[in-house]
Amino acid sequence: MSSGIATKYFFLDSDSASMGPAAADWSYRQLAEFKGIAEFNIIKGTTPADFLENGLVLLIASNRVIKILHENQLSGFSTYRVRIRRNNSDVPGYHGLAIIGRGGPNDKSLEESRIDPRSGKSYRKINGLRPTAWDGSDLFTLDDAYRVALTTERVRTIFRKEKVTNCIFEPAKEFHTV
């Protein structure tokens, strides 16, 4: 699950100083421990959405999404406080979404070690995501893909039924990275 990158919806620039190392270094799971207020400014877009895209790949969810998660008794998430501003005015109704469900490490059979022919450096190529120690949560991350939000099919079905905006679901088997 990720938010979309559409220009019609609000796009946020973060005040990374408001989060300290949490902004760039923490996993979605560690964000549940963040006790401050993450601050963001809307820098483009004209329309609020259920998920707000930002340069830090943090999940910023509307009150409506949090209500949907609670009403459907979905598991594996927590929230932290955010402050969204537009033209020096607060835009209420949003939370940081921390994913606390665990999937263990990714299945190593989906990874390849490669050597970059130009630099001679090794890197790993990942061909899909498959949890090896999933705790059964509806929202979860893998230990070695800690900024990739994974969900059950149930979450996808509920979000589609509720027409949650600016949220994209991609099959985990189609995830590729180098």
Given this model, what pLDDT does residue 126 score? 84
127 occurs within a structural domain: no
166 occurs within a structural domain: yes
Q: From CA 119, how far away is CA 106, in angstroms rounded?
A: 27
124 occurs within a structural domain: no
51 occurs within a structural domain: yes
109 occurs within a structural domain: no
87 occurs within a structural domain: yes
Q: What are phi and psi of 32, to 5 degrees?
A: -65, -20
Given this model, what pLDDT does residue 165 score? 96
Residue-wise pLDDT tens digits, 90-102: 999 999 999 999 9
User: Could you tell me if 146 and 106 are in contact, meaning their C-beta atoms sit under 8 angstroms apart?
Assistant: no
Quickly count: other Cβ atoms within 10 Å of residue 85's Cβ.
14
Residue-wise pLDDT tens digits, 57-88: 889 999 999 999 999 999 999 999 999 999 99
Share of residues in the chain with pLDDT > 70 (%): 93
Contacts of 48 (CB under 8 A, 6+ apart): 9, 10, 62, 91, 93
User: Could you tell me if 90 and 114 are in contact, meaning their C-beta atoms sit under 8 angstroms apart?
Assistant: no
**pLDDT confidence tier of residue 4, bands split at 50, 70 and 90:** low
Given this model, what pLDDT does residue 75 score? 98
Domain that residue 84 falls in: 2-101+136-172
How many distinct structural domains can be found in the chain?
1
* pTM for the model: 0.85
112 occurs within a structural domain: no
Q: What single-letter DSSP state applies at residue 19? A: T
111 occurs within a structural domain: no
User: Could you tell me if 99 and 141 are in contact, meaning their C-beta atoms sit under 8 angstroms apart?
Assistant: yes
Q: From CA 149, how far away is CA 175, in angstroms rounded?
A: 12
pLDDT at 178 over 70: no
Helix (H) or strand (E) holding 157: helix 153-161
